[in-house]
Amino acid sequence: MISVPTLEAAAFAAWPSERTLDLRGWHLRLDRGHTKRANSANATAGGRPLRDIDIDAIEDHFRRHGLTPTFRLPGGLPTPRAARDDDERLARRGYRLCDASLVMTRPLSPADVAADPAQSADATAWLRAFGDVTGRTGADQAAHRDILLRIAHPCAWAVQGDDGRPTCCGLGVRVDRLVGLFDIATRTGRQRRGEARRLCRALMAWGARRGADTAFLQVLAANRAALGLYESLGFRVAYAYHYRVPPA
């Protein structure tokens, strides 16, 4: 079984922030706001219980960089009691819980290698297709692009289309013996046609052919459609995490 710290490190490497800093036992990731994953203070296995003075210091650091203080609390770390204490302390300070998410994993097998591998575009073409599929444009797309171009590990930029128009996109990133699946998106009106399933299988085949033995992904716990797809592909929950953000 892959440990939680190993999965956390792989996810950080596959989705790199512009700046990182270890502060008071928390791993700070600072970018330009595209996703909370790249813009959050992350609890770590070696971190001590959070104190008010620590929260003050982390808040100050985020605000000096023009970012909303955001705390990410993964379950399954070697210090579960401290994690509960941290969550309760943040709640007492008025921080609200949001974006409860799951990390799911799936062992790869020789059968995965035999699947059709992902057809890779380049990062620029993929981002253009992703924007077309999702409707994301402007500053959000620019911040997304910067994260993608920062990835230092092998990538598969997968796009499926129909009649020359992209209908489904996804990204695979191999980090050592793990392959992470990110940004799986299907055009509105094209769901339940098997496109995301084929794309995920293609990304896993790509990773398996390059030495990965486990696939992982992150998904919102409330996204029942995506959970159903990933479970049907053999993914199982490894651990959960959620965020705490200041009151609106």
- Tens of pLDDT, residue by residue over 75-86, are 887 665 567 889
Residue-wise pLDDT tens digits, 164-190: 788 999 999 999 999 999 999 999 877
Whole-number pLDDT of residue 78: 66
In the chain the domains, ranked by start, together with CATH numbers, are: 4-100 (no CATH), 109-212 (3.40.630.30)
Residue-wise pLDDT tens digits, 112-149: 887 775 666 788 889 999 999 988 776 678 888 899 99
**Residue where the block lists tokens 């710290």:** 5
**pTM of the complete model beyond 0.85:** yes
Q: Cα(72)–Cα(106) distance, rounded to whole angstroms?
A: 23
- Across the range 200-204, mean pLDDT stands at 95
Strand 214-220 relative to strand 26-30: parallel, antiparallel, unpaired?
unpaired
Phi/psi for 88 (5° steps) reads: -65, -40
39 with 31: CB under 8 angstroms? yes
229 with 220: CB under 8 angstroms? no
Residue-wise pLDDT tens digits, 14-40: 999 999 999 888 999 998 877 888 899
